[in-house]
Amino acid sequence: MQSKTLGSIFILCGTTIGAGLLALPLTAAGLGFLPTLALLIASYFIAALSSLVILEALAATTAKVDGHFDSMCRATLGRVGEALFLVSYITLMYSVTAAYLSGGSSIFQLLLTKLGIPLPDWMCSLLFTLLLGFVVFQGAKTTDFVNRYIMLAKGLLFLGIIWFFIPAIKVSYLLDMKGNAPFVFGVIPIIFLIFGYQLILPTLYIYLEKDITEMKKTIYIGSFISLMVFFIWLLTTLASIPRFGDNSFYDFLSSADKDNVANFFDFIGQVQSGTLTKSLMNIFSNLALITSFLGITLSLKDYLFDLKLIKKTTHPKMYSTILTFIIPVLLVIFKPQIFQAALNYAAGMLVIVLLWLPCAMSLRIRQRAKEQHATLTYQAPGGLFSIALLIIIGVIIFVLSLLATMGWLPVFGSYPQS
């Protein structure tokens, strides 16, 4: 396997295995292990199919130039499609970046305080951004190098965490699906959010020198590794903590601490009767946040670099990097409620960015090829059936995410026990 392909797999895994992994048990608790696993596998296949549709659009629109999602939209959907993608993508990516920045700077501040260097929130946000922003500014090669070592550490820590969970595993907890029916629809959009690695695909495509074979390897292997990590984490946590009763998921999700993942680590430490488990989870979550932050911001920087307005400047790389970080930093320092509100609509925006518009691109590309009697460099499998399936699934997820945002779907912990 080529070194770049291995690095791309690590970047894809690092982007996917982020904060969503550690919060997965809280999402799955209401539904139970087996139904959540089924949704997780379904989401995995949806993401893989969506990735191949995006790869088809990449191969058709960026053969002669290095481009990102903006070039793809401009070449297939015109100004209206380009504008719709711009609004959805920028809103989503700035919100997610701000969320990761908020969490990362808090961790950075705590570390400096322990070292006897107390700093205000705004300064920690700036220092954290400058440190990782420098890596992103250097590009995919440097990000790959840094990400590999962090991923190695994440892998070792993950194995350590699972080891401490094993003695507490009870198979009976995995079979508990009591009263899970009301929570099915609320879980679907959240599980869909977990596999969002398609956002990094245009960057990896350029990094792999537009090699479609290596890109498919990256998608297949990287997403499968991520699925296995999600499966193992889901299995060990839901088999170690009961859904109902004393020290249960229901107890925790009924408390005032439910919105903070760090408090979930405290809860696990109490259940497992060990501070080492909590410490390992804290370190792992910090590294998970960093790798996701690197992947998301690298993709955002490359997208901004692809915009015509940025390309016309004298220093497009510098300006695209500044724009990647300056707005999230300002949001975290001055208006955190804005990105927090935008995150409520993350699933809906992902549907637009990763399902609907790529499908529209694919349909336009195939229509042109048919009119010109041309052969496509690559075409996603399944023909029109795959495209229609992704569009319909997107409608379902979009509607459910809106209902969840409006508070119209039951939430485990705030719903009476049956």
Residue 125: closest CA among 147, 99, 146: 99
Report CA torsion sign: 227, 4, 356, 296. positive
Distance separating alpha carbons of residues 406 and 401, to the nearest angstrom: 9
Q: What is the DSSP letter of 168?
A: G
Give residue 410's pLDDT.
85
pLDDT at 249 exceeding the cut of 80? yes
Which pLDDT band holds residue 165 (cuts at 50, 70, 90)? confident
* Residue 248 pLDDT: 86
Per-residue pLDDT tens digits for 20-47: 787 789 889 889 999 999 999 999 999 9
CA distance 343 to 287: 21
Q: Any residues with CB less than 8 A from the CB of 40 and at least 6 apart, and which?
A: 191, 194, 227, 230, 231, 234
| Residue 115 in this model has a pLDDT that exceeds 60 | yes
Enumerate the H helices of 63-77 as residue ranges.
Answer: 69-76
Q: Are 265 and 283 spatial neighbours (Cβ–Cβ below 8 Å)? A: no
Q: Are 144 and 7 contacting, i.e. CB atoms less than 8 angstroms apart?
A: yes
Element of type H or E holding 165: helix 140-165
Q: What is the pLDDT of residues 255-309, one digit of tens each?
A: 756 666 667 766 776 666 566 777 787 788 888 889 999 999 999 999 999 998 8
Most confident of 20-24, 224-228, 401-405: 224-228
CB 216 within 8 Å of CB 228:
no
Token pair, residue 69, equals 């999602």
- Which residues touch 49 (CB under 8 Å, ≥6 apart)? 380, 381, 382, 386, 389, 390
pLDDT at 211: 95
Mean pLDDT along residues 394-412: 90
Decide: 357 and 77 in contact? Cβ < 8 Å: yes
Q: What confidence score (pLDDT) does residue 313 get?
A: 83
Q: Which residues of 276-286 are buried (b: 16+ CB within 10 A; e: fewer)?
A: ebbebbbbbbb
Domain ranges of the chain: 3-405
Fold of 3-405: Amino acid/polyamine transporter I (1.20.1740)
Provide the pLDDT for residue 272: 65
Report how far residue 123's alpha carbon sits from residue 116's, in angstroms, rounded to the nearest whole number.
Answer: 15
Please check whether residue 91 is in contact with residue 349, taking contact to mean a CB–CB distance below 8 angstroms: yes
Average pLDDT, the chain: 89
* Confidence check: pLDDT of 235 > 60: yes
pLDDT at residue 388, rounded to an integer: 97
d(CA 251, CA 22): 18
In percent, the amount of the chain with pLDDT more than 70 equals 92
Q: What are phi and psi of 335, to 5 degrees?
A: -135, 65
Paired tokens of 80: 């209206």
Residue 59's H or E segment, with its range, is helix 33-61
- Quick one: 368 exposed, middle or buried, by C-beta within 10 A (0-12, 13-18, 19+)? middle
pLDDT tens-digit readout, 44-87: 999 999 999 999 999 999 877 788 999 999 999 999 999 999 99
* Element containing residue 346 per DSSP (H, E): helix 346-351
Please tell me the total number of residues recorded for the chain in this structure: 418
Dist CA 342 CA 322 (whole Å):
21
| Higher per-residue pLDDT: 357 or 176 | 357
Q: Which residues contact 129 (CB under 8 A, 6 or more apart)?
A: 101, 105, 325, 328, 329
Query: What crossing angle do the helices spanning 261-272 and 19-28 adopt, rounded to 10°?
Result: 70
How large is the average pLDDT for residues 128-134? 92
